[in-house]
Chain A
Amino acid sequence: MSFADTRSIPLVDGAPKRYRGAFARLYRGEMRLLLTRRRNWILLAVLAVVPVFIGVAVKLSDPGGGDGPQFIGRITGNGLFLVFTAITVAIPFFLPLVIGVIAGDSIAGEAGQGTLRYLLTVPVPRGRLLAVKTLGVATFTALAVVLVAAIGLITGALLFGVHSLVLLSGDTVGIGNALLRTFGVVVYVTIALFGLAAGGLFISTLTENAIAAMAATVSIAVFSALLDAVPQLSAIHPVLLTHHWLDFGELLRSSISWSDLTSWTALHLAYAAIFLSLAWSRLTTRDITS
């Protein structure tokens, strides 16, 4: 081909024409990259196994309540509780692991591989790159939570059936209301985990070593949970990143405390805002030498 006949780029202010939907295309490229990587499918597969594993274990052993993760004793009565049990089991480790890998890799991976310099000279402005990476990580986080919930729902329905939901306070609500509350749980947990995801994005701007960024991100969650387990530190417990992760049970009460839910959500969003600001200030001033 000849470049001579395609060379007249429309000029606006000396700048080449921009085509509509540029951010959407950038986002599409990012998601395609996340979803074509085999490693990411393995992460999702590990998450999908969690509800199936719990469901089968409960079916086979029929635990008589008492010990075990929250809601596990109620699964046999209503398969819907498998969703909540699976999320409870996945929150302390599996979900942070997935988020740590995806968020930690997001920018450090591109830097270590050298693709960051080529993205920036396309050019993708640095702020825009952070925005699309944030959106990609957020999408993957939501996908991970939805996956656990969906597989939990399907497995629960197949093994135990889904019935009207007996709330923690003893009242009963219909299936429609129960599914709405389940959706609320998914949204709450996604936002809660997004605080960690934003931390991972920030760490990812600090290094070219993706593995280190992944490990550091998972360590944030582990460290926060550790502090949360020390009774002498109870004063700071309410503001720890992980403290309210399991409080999604609030959505299963007959009178939901919206003020609590709002303040917890605000805490998670505040963490996200702080981490993302740090990530922005770092990425927009960083020398790209890799």
Chain B
Amino acid sequence: MPTSAAVELSEPDVRPVHAPDESSEVAVRTAGLTRRFGDQTAVDAVDLIVPRGAIYGFLGPNGSGKTTTIRVLLGLIAADAGTVELLGQRMPRASARVLPRVGALIEGPAFHPYITGAQNLRRLDLSDATADPSTSMSRIEAALARVGLTAAAGKKYRNYSLGMKQRLGLAAALLQPRDLLILDEPTNGLDPQGTREVRRLIRDLATDGTTVLVSSHLLSEIEQVATHVGMMSGGKLVRQGTLQDVLADGAPTIRVETPDLDPALHVMQQLGLQPATAPDGAITARLAAVEVEDVAAALVRAGVRLRRLNVDRPDLEELFVTITGEGFDVLR
């Protein structure tokens, strides 16, 4: 699928520049996106597809090329090859038309330290040609309230804690109603409570119809909100799809606790499984073609006494390791 998209998009005239993007079902689409820094390929032929309305978890360890991809999406750095479409329009050509509808948090918040949080938002809002000046103040208040920063609005940014800075960055992304939010590591520096709030915020925004692209190196955090995921490793997008599809990649593992070790091992081998004995005495095996209920039935039929039997699905992090064959560490 990505390949055919790449071919289609490399024809410059397939899509008129002023095509009404409401028809587009895809909020973010890149085709063959590549960016090199010196001899290092930071982003390597990435075909990203973020459907409208999705919460897309953009995952990968630090240094896997997520932030570079996001910077290219937003027109901050140029691509060496490939194309980018945001909300159906080509970037960076359509920046002025598209970016007002995109809220972004890029590699952490950044504001002027010697003015207050509210003044910083005011400055950004004044800079936005598409922001209604008559509603500026009320929109700033609403954005601050939405991220729980009302009490600190009049405080100098310099005196903000890391979590408050992160919240102000989110508030800036929410100054206007957005069709697309691109949030790069939005929970950095937040405590567990703050992380939960951000997750709820993302869900609320998605309910309102906003597409959210959220990058993170904390896979478990994303697993709880994402509808779609893309996994980056070493500059390549190694897997992409709905969360369900991607999770289904991972074969579940059955875990059997029984005093009758040998008969159990024998039954499972006969079913075509490759059981192993865990250090605590339990038997584990990956379930590929065999269903768990069939294993249970076979064990019972053979008179194996079961103390406990359960199935573990691998989470995103385990999957990532399986897919890339790498640990979830900084690769470069």
Residues of A within 8 A of B196 (CB): none
- Which of B124, B146, B210 is in CB contact (< 8 Å) with A122? B124
- Which of A7, A33, A121 is in CB contact (< 8 Å) with B99? A121
Residues of B within 8 A of A114 (CB): 107-110
Determine the distance from Cα of A123 to Cα of B172 in the docked complex, in whole angstroms.
12
**Contact in complex: B77, A287 (CB < 8 Å):** yes
Least Cβ–Cβ distance between B148 and chain A, in angstroms: 14
- What number of residue pairs across chains A and B have CB atoms under 8 A from each other? 126
Q: For chain A, which range describes its interface: under 10, 10 to 19, 20 to 34, or 35 or more residues?
A: 35 or more
Q: For chain B, which range describes its interface: under 10, 10 to 19, 20 to 34, or 35 or more residues?
A: 35 or more
Residues of B within 8 A of A113 (CB): 110-113
Least Cβ–Cβ distance between B1 and chain A, in angstroms: 26
Determine the distance from Cα of A125 to Cα of B96 in the docked complex, in whole angstroms.
7
The residue in B18, B115, B132, B177 that gathers the most chain A C-beta atoms within 10 A of its C-beta is: B177
**Contact in complex: A14, B127 (CB < 8 Å):** no
**Contact in complex: B96, A123 (CB < 8 Å):** yes
Given A13-B97, A29-B123, A122-B127: A117 in contact with B106 (beta carbons within 8 A)? yes
Residues of B within 8 A of A61 (CB): none
Least Cβ–Cβ distance between B81 and chain A, in angstroms: 15
Least Cβ–Cβ distance between A130 and chain B, in angstroms: 14
**Contact in complex: B210, A118 (CB < 8 Å):** no
**Contact in complex: A1, B145 (CB < 8 Å):** yes
- Which of B76, B145, B209 is in CB contact (< 8 Å) with A117? B76
**Contact in complex: B145, A16 (CB < 8 Å):** no
SS of B interface (majority): loop
Given A29-B122, A115-B111, A118-B106: A3 in contact with B208 (beta carbons within 8 A)? yes
**Contact in complex: B130, A121 (CB < 8 Å):** no
The residue in B21, B71, B130, B178 that gathers the most chain A C-beta atoms within 10 A of its C-beta is: B130
Residue of A at shortest CB range from B35?
A287
CB of A32 within 8 A of chain B?
A: yes
7 shortest interchain CB distances as A-B pairs: A114-B110, A22-B129, A29-B126, A15-B97, A123-B99, A287-B77, A16-B130
Name 17 extra pairs, CB < 8 A, besides A1-B142, A26-B126, A122-B124.
Answer: A2-B208, A3-B174, A3-B177, A3-B178, A13-B97, A14-B22, A15-B96, A16-B97, A29-B122, A114-B110, A118-B111, A118-B124, A120-B76, A124-B127, A125-B95, A125-B96, A289-B76
Which B residues are closer than 8 A to A by beta carbons? 18-22, 71, 74-78, 88-89, 95-97, 99-102, 104, 106-115, 119, 122-124, 126-133, 142, 145-146, 172, 174, 177-178, 205, 208-210
Could you write out 17 A-B pairs with CB less than 8 Å apart? Answer: A1-B145, A4-B209, A7-B208, A13-B18, A14-B88, A14-B89, A14-B97, A38-B114, A114-B108, A115-B110, A117-B71, A118-B104, A123-B96, A123-B99, A125-B95, A125-B96, A289-B77
